[in-house]
Amino acid sequence: MIKKADLVIIGGGVVGCSVAYNLAKLGAKNIILLEKNTLASGSTGRCGAGIRQQFGTKMNCILARESIKIFENLSQELEYDIELNQGGYLILAYTEKEVNQFKKNVALEQSLNIKARFITVEEAKEIVPPLNTEGILAATFCPTDGHANPFKTNFAYAEAAERLGVKIYTFTEVKEIETENHKIVAVNTDKGKLLTPMVVNAAGGYSGIIGKMVGVDIPVYSQRHQILITEPIDPLFRPMLMSFSRNFYGQQTPHGSIIMGFGDPNERKDGDIGSSWQFAQEMAQKMTAVLPLLKEVSMVRQWAGLYNMSPDAQPILGEHPQIEGFYMALGFSGHGFMLAPITSKLIAELILKRKTSLPIDKLDIGRFERGELIIEPSVV
Ligand SMILES: Cc1cc2nc3c(=O)[nH]c(=O)nc-3n(C[C@H](O)[C@H](O)[C@H](O)COP(=O)(O)OP(=O)(O)OC[C@H]3O[C@@H](n4cnc5c(N)ncnc54)[C@H](O)[C@@H]3O)c2cc1C
């Protein structure tokens, strides 16, 4: 293993690999990425891989819109088919409160040139013919939203980064980070010591632990989030189907399986990523209620991953004010896959002291102390 680097990235998920790629693309040299397991073994390889621009905060709308622009050309840019499917996101409103919130969301989205629209139940049924419309009051639809293959996206970024000179070491765990006078000086791994003045914490659900290694408390926690997949069936629906109040999302992958999940506020926060039968049962009830045809379809596998939650469900981006050279790209909550392309570009620009393509100062860690949280209402 090389003993010295200009910058070390901790985490081989989509965030770490895309940060590595964007840094190298901007000309940075001597970058090392360390991953304790295999690439995509964390939340990225476990996620629903939905990509949507339909949010309730301007910040998330803009980040997601810019991310989609990158996603649209990503297969060509990285020379790897990431299986982008822009079949839209159909978000169902079951309550008056949601109807009101969605009207506000769509007005905001349209003001930002996002192609979302507020639609009737009949229009929703045209988009997803097998939809059970019982209880649905209205919906929103954005045709340029969609989903991609999270493994392929993760590997695409990693391979492109390697082609630009980044060294990736898998099965290499960071155990300690050394600082002197509040500056990063070295990273100790289970394979040896690496001298470096800069670290990017892209450790997803483990980013709080990495923070403790430099003696800082990052206000994030990691919560289990479960998900399952069915056997492949003939094409049934194209968009990601979602409801916040009924709490579910589901999409059909290109090979026909349906991936579905929901967020349980009572889920464990102890790092456990085992699966529960209660989840499978509740998930089946939710999805067969909205797509009754699924009653005939077998579930083949379930798994779980970690949502790395920040207090306002927005990422924390930037250098830690107390530790020089300690950068954070974490706290992505339930939308780190979709935001990775743009946020990694912004972080790379920030690290290289360039003008960032979009302002990201409001997403610094200091916002929590300043009481300037940007609460996102539209999340599962
Ligand atoms: C079930 C589920 C569904 C989701 N659905 C969506 C969705 O539809 N759309 C969306 O945008 N997002 C979704 N998310 C969220 C998304 O998966 C994450 O926000 C995103 O993948 C975070 O990427 P990451 O690279 O930061 O983290 P990860 O992919 O978790 O990568 C972090 C890596 O760091 C490594 N690591 C940790 N500690 C160390 C160490 N000490 N040394 C070396 N390596 C270390 C880990 O092994 C891991 O591979 C979902 C998440 C889950 C769990």
pLDDT, tens only, 270-285 = 999 999 999 999 999 9
Residue 377's pLDDT is what?
A: 84
What string of H, E and C letters represents the secondary structure of 275-309?
CCHHHHHHHHHHHHHHCHHHHHCCEEEEEEEEEEE
Amino acid letter, 49: A
In this prediction, residues 175-200 reach a mean pLDDT of 98
Q: Please give the number of the atom of ligand 1 that sits closest to the Cα of 41.
A: 49
Q: At 17, is the pLDDT very low, low, confident or very high (cuts 50, 70, 90)?
A: very high
Q: At 14, is the pLDDT very low, low, confident or very high (cuts 50, 70, 90)?
A: very high
Cα(13)–Cα(28) distance, integer angstroms: 20
Cα(337)–Cα(366) distance, integer angstroms: 24
Contact 20/166 with Cβ under 8 angstroms?
yes
Question: Which CA distances in Å does 24 have to 16, 48, 161?
Answer: 12, 28, 7
Question: In the chain, where are the structural domains located?
Answer: 7-45+151-220+312-370, 86-144+225-304
In this prediction, residues 221-229 reach a mean pLDDT of 98
Q: Please give the number of the atom of ligand 1 that sits closest to the Cα of 240.
A: 8
pLDDT at 380 over 90: no
Report CA torsion sign: 270, 271, 272, 277: positive
Find the 45 Cα to ligand 1 centroid distance in Å: 7
Return left, alpha or beta for 319; rule: phi > 0 is left, psi -120 to 50 is alpha, else beta: beta
Q: For residue 57, what are its two tokens?
A: 């905060």
Find the 336 Cα to ligand 1 centroid distance in Å: 7
Residue 296's pLDDT is what?
A: 96
Instruction: Give the residue ranges of DSSP H helices in the chain.
Output: 14-25, 58-78, 96-111, 121-127, 150-163, 207-213, 277-290, 336-351, 366-370
**CATH annotation of 86-144+225-304:** 3.30.9.10
Task: Identify the residue whose tokens are 């082609």.
Answer: 163
| CATH architecture of the domain with range 7-45+151-220+312-370 | 3-Layer(bba) Sandwich (3.50)
Supply the DSSP symbol for 4.
B
pLDDT, tens only, 64-88 = 999 999 999 999 999 999 999 999 9
Find the 42 Cα to ligand 1 centroid distance in Å: 5
In this prediction, residues 207-215 reach a mean pLDDT of 98
Q: For residue 217, what are its two tokens?
A: 């408390």
Cα(159)–Cα(233) distance, integer angstroms: 32
Asked whether 16 lines ligand 1 (CB < 6 A), one says: yes
pLDDT at 31 over 90: yes
Q: For residue 75, what are its two tokens?
A: 């297969």
Asked whether 13 lines ligand 1 (CB < 6 A), one says: yes
Cα(26)–Cα(17) distance, integer angstroms: 14
For 366, half-sphere exposure in the C-beta direction (CA atoms, 13 angstrom radius) is: 8
Strand-pair partners of 96: none
Amino acid letter, 242: M
Instruction: Give the residue ranges of DSSP H helices in 31-138.
Output: 58-78, 96-111, 121-127
Residue 378's pLDDT is what?
A: 82
166: three-class secondary structure by DSSP = coil
pLDDT averaged over every residue in the chain:
97
Cα(157)–Cα(136) distance, integer angstroms: 39
CB atoms within 10 A of CB 83: 17
Length of the chain: 380
pLDDT at 1 over 80: no
Q: Please give the number of the atom of ligand 1 that sits closest to the Cα of 339.
A: 11
Residue 379's pLDDT is what?
A: 79
E strand or H helix that includes residue 91:
strand 89-93
24: three-class secondary structure by DSSP = helix
Asked whether 15 lines ligand 1 (CB < 6 A), one says: yes
Which residues lie closer than 8 Å to 366 by C-beta, 6 or more apart?
321
Report CA torsion sign: 306, 72, 237, 256: negative
pLDDT at 2 over 90: no
pLDDT at 19 over 90: yes
